[in-house]
């Protein structure tokens, strides 16, 4: 039976605890699991039987979370990891090799731009950043060494909506996977797999957990990509020496990427989610749809109010009719454009500093997707190291403030913004 989202966000992946009947998923605070006998242990280590060995690879609490997220995203399997950034590396690792590249949207979370433009170079990988609204440029950037296309569904920091259908048509034609970071949208607002994504990555730190308590990430596999169609993905299609020549795709089919993520990725890179973090995130996901509805309602009200304010130059929220992305909402994220956007203040850098310093309910933090409303002035913080040109290109110029709308009373949020804007203009 196909349950609705509101049912799945509470039940998917979970059954009453087989040992005790506990209704809530227990926190399995253990590093290891007793083997039935030596044959059982050998079968587990050979991947001939699926079971728990050691919590760097799998843990029952984390496994419930992985299955819940996979179900909500409409994927075949998922691997949870220690952070969103870990999830991005875990998604790329089976695909990449020295000399290979990815084609990535220029509109990404700031930390992802740094990870892709600097840190992955140490592995011999590289990224080409392209404006994903320029489809010809995306096509032109893909070459024989490209192993993935990467974008965000609702993109940081401005809340822009990516035309996933158009982008997946390009990656399909090139025979390479599309990886979509669905952190800002969540599976409640957007289902990237329905729009052709091969893999979906999450920072579960944000809306999925929802209250700013624990770090986490997840890679969901659609199970739809044919890893053996070309010789581009030998880690998945060719014999794996560390498992006696086992071929992941041939052996595990639609679960090849998930098994590789656990049996190679977590085993050797060790970016494991801990069961406490999985517990907090499972608690958060139970109310995901309720929170996202309120985030969207509040963001629509507040973005509309800000757009009419004299001190505000522009508001980037895609849910506003003035947004060039407004037309994509119905197709890509029909339940709304999320809770994240930027505003530019006419008073420039100085006004932004006074604005963020005078807000009382909104917190000035480097986070988003919390029940609390949050702001950050990127030019003086996360994007401080960039040149003026780079800041503008990233949508984080000196007059821009990023806003993550929480689920508080919107009247109170508007009053707070109003008094801070008044002080910023003084
Ligand atoms: C926060 C974030 C990340 C990184 O996740 P961490 O959990 O902080 O490592 C990646 N992508 C997006 C869109 C994010 O918001």
Q: Does 390 have pLDDT greater than 80? A: no
Write out pLDDT tens, residues 72-121: 999 999 999 999 999 999 999 999 999 999 999 999 988 899 999 999 99
Strand 340-345 and strand 312-315: the pairing is: antiparallel
Q: Atom 11 (ligand 1): residue with closest C-alpha?
A: 109
Domain 288-424 has CATH 3.30.450.40: no
Which atom of ligand 1 lies closest to the CA of 152?
Answer: 13
pLDDT band at residue 50 using 50, 70 and 90 as cut-offs = confident
Across residues 6-26, what is the average pLDDT? 96
Torsion angle of C-alpha atoms 240, 243, 244, 246, degrees rounded to 10: -60
The label of the residue with tokens 């032109």 reads 140
Q: How far lies 101's CA from each of 121, 147, 226, in Å?
A: 10, 6, 19
Write out pLDDT tens, residues 129-143: 999 999 999 999 999
Model pLDDT, residue 385: 72
Model pLDDT, residue 426: 59
In short, whether 212's Cβ falls inside 6 Å of ligand 1 is: no
Q: Does 153 have pLDDT greater than 80? A: yes
> Contact at 8 Å (CB) between 266 and 79?
yes
Model pLDDT, residue 383: 78
Distance 218 CA to ligand 1 centre (A): 11
Burial letters 313-322, b for 16+ CB under 10 A, else e: ebbbbbbbee
State the chain's mean pLDDT as an integer.
95
What distance in Å separates the CA atoms of residue 91 and residue 200, rounded to the nearest whole number?
9
The domain 8-283: what is its CATH number? 3.40.640.10
Residue whose CB lies within 8 A of the most ligand 1 atoms, among 206, 215, 277, for a mutation test: 206
pLDDT band at residue 266 using 50, 70 and 90 as cut-offs = very high
Q: Which two tokens stand for residue 198?
A: 């091969």
In short, whether 217's Cβ falls inside 6 Å of ligand 1 is: yes
Which atom of ligand 1 lies closest to the CA of 368?
Answer: 15
Give percent of the chain with pLDDT exceeding 90: 88
Write out pLDDT tens, residues 212-239: 999 999 999 999 999 999 999 999 999 9
Listing DSSP states for 211-223 in one string gives: SS----EEEEE-S
Domain ranges of the chain: 8-283, 288-424
Q: Atom 4 (ligand 1): residue with closest C-alpha?
A: 84
Across residues 341-361, what is the average pLDDT? 96
Distance 261 CA to ligand 1 centre (A): 19
């Amino acid at each position: 039976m196909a349950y609705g989202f509101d049912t799945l966000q509470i039940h998917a992946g979970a059954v009453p605890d087989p040992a005790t009947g506990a209704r809530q998923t227990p926190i399995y605070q253990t590093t290891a699991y007793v083997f039935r006998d030596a044959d059982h242990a050998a079968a587990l280590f050979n991947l001939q039987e699926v079971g728990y060995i050691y919590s760097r690879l799998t843990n029952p609490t984390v496994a419930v979370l992985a299955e819940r997220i996979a179900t909500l995203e409409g994927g075949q399997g998922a691997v949870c990891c220690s952070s969103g950034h870990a999830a991005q590396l875990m998604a790329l690792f089976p695909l990449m090799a020295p000399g290979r590249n990815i084609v990535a949207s220029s509109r990404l979370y700031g930390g992802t731009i740094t990870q892709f433009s600097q840190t992955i170079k140490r592995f011999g990988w590289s990224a080409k950043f392209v404006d994903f609204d320029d489809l010809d440029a995306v096509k032109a950037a893909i070459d024989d060494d490209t192993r993935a296309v990467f974008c965000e569904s609702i993109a940081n920091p401005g809340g822009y909506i990516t035309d996933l259908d158009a982008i997946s048509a390009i990656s399909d034609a090139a025979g390479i996977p599309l990886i979509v970071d669905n952190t800002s949208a969540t599976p409640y607002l957007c289902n990237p797999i329905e729009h052709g994504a091969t893999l979906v990555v999450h920072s579960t730190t944000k809306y999925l957990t929802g209250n700013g308590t624990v770090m986490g990430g997840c890679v969901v596999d659609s199970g739809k990509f044919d890893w053996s169609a070309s010789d581009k993905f030998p880690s998945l299609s060719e014999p794996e020496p560390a498992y006696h020549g086992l071929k992941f795709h041939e052996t595990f089919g639609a679960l090849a990427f998930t098994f590789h993520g656990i049996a190679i990725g977590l085993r050797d890179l060790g970016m494991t989610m801990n069961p406490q973090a999985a517990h907090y995130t499972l608690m958060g996901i139970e109310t995901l749809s309720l929170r996202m509805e309120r985030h969207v309602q509040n963001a629509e009200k507040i973005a509309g109010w800000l757009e009419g304010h004299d001190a505000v130059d522009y508001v980037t929220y895609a849910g506003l009719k003035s947004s060039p992305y407004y037309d994509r909402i119905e197709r890509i994220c029909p339940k709304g454009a999320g809770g994240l956007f930027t505003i530019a203040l006419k008073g420039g850098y100085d006004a932004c500093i006074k604005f963020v310093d005078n807000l009382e309910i909104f917190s000035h933090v480097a986070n988003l997707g919390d029940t609390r409303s949050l702001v950050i002035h990127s030019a003086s913080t996360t994007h401080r190291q960039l040149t003026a040109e780079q800041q503008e290109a990233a949508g984080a110029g000196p007059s821009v403030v990023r806003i993550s709308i929480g689920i508080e009373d919107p009247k109170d949020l508007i009053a707070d913004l109003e008094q801070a804007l008044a002080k910023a203009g003084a």
